[in-house]
Amino acid sequence: MSEQRKSPFATVNPYTGETLAEFPAIEGAAVDAVLETAGGAFDTWRKRTVEERAELVGRVAGLMRERKETLARLITLEMG
């Protein structure tokens, strides 16, 4: 595996070139573990009723509205 693949992934502001955050690259068993966790979460989600899903999505929407300035700032940084 090349060294480049093992380097962390960076979130970069395309306008300034500033690195905003770095995330570790993962491979092999770590990828499998992440996928297994995601699969388990999906299984839990799909067993919920439509009403439960709607309530949870509504809560997420409310949290996003409460944090809209912070989210807008982050999106602007990432998009330049």
Average pLDDT, the chain: 91
Domain that holds residue 13: 3-79
Kindly state the average pLDDT of the residues 44-56. Answer: 98
Task: Provide the domain count of the chain.
Answer: 1
Higher pLDDT, 38 or 3: 38
Kindly state the average pLDDT of the residues 37-43. Answer: 97
Residue 18 sits at the vertex; the CA angle it makes with 71 and 63, to the nearest 5 degrees, is 10
Query: Residue 39 and residue 41: Cα distance in Å, rounded?
Result: 5
Q: Is the pLDDT of residue 52 over 50?
A: yes
Confidence of residue 80 (pLDDT cuts 50, 70, 90): confident
